[in-house]
Amino acid sequence: MLLGVGLILIAEETGRILVLKELKSKPIIQKQAGMLSFPLETVKKGEGKYDAVKRLLLEEVGVDISIISLGPIFFGGTMEIFTQIAYTIQAYALCKQEFVVTPNDTDIEFYGWMNPKDLLKCQFIRAEVPPIINLFLSKKRFGYN
Q: What is the CATH number of the domain that holds 111?
A: 3.90.79.10
The residue type at 14: T
The verdict on residue 145 lying in a domain is no
Using the predicted structure, report yes or no on whether residue 80 has a pLDDT greater than 70.
no
Report the mean per-residue pLDDT for the chain: 85
pTM over the 0.85 mark: yes
Q: How many domains does the chain have?
A: 1
The verdict on residue 124 lying in a domain is yes
The verdict on residue 144 lying in a domain is no
* pLDDT at residue 107, rounded to an integer: 93
Which residues constitute the domain of residue 30?
Answer: 2-139
Q: What are the C-alpha distances in Å from 129 to residues 40, 64, 68, 97? A: 10, 24, 24, 22
Exposure string of 116-125, with b = 16+ CB inside 10 Å and e = fewer, is beebeeeeeb
Q: Which residue has better confidence, 46 or 73?
A: 46
The verdict on residue 35 lying in a domain is yes
The verdict on residue 37 lying in a domain is yes
Using the predicted structure, report yes or no on whether residue 142 has a pLDDT greater than 80.
no
The verdict on residue 65 lying in a domain is yes
The verdict on residue 110 lying in a domain is yes
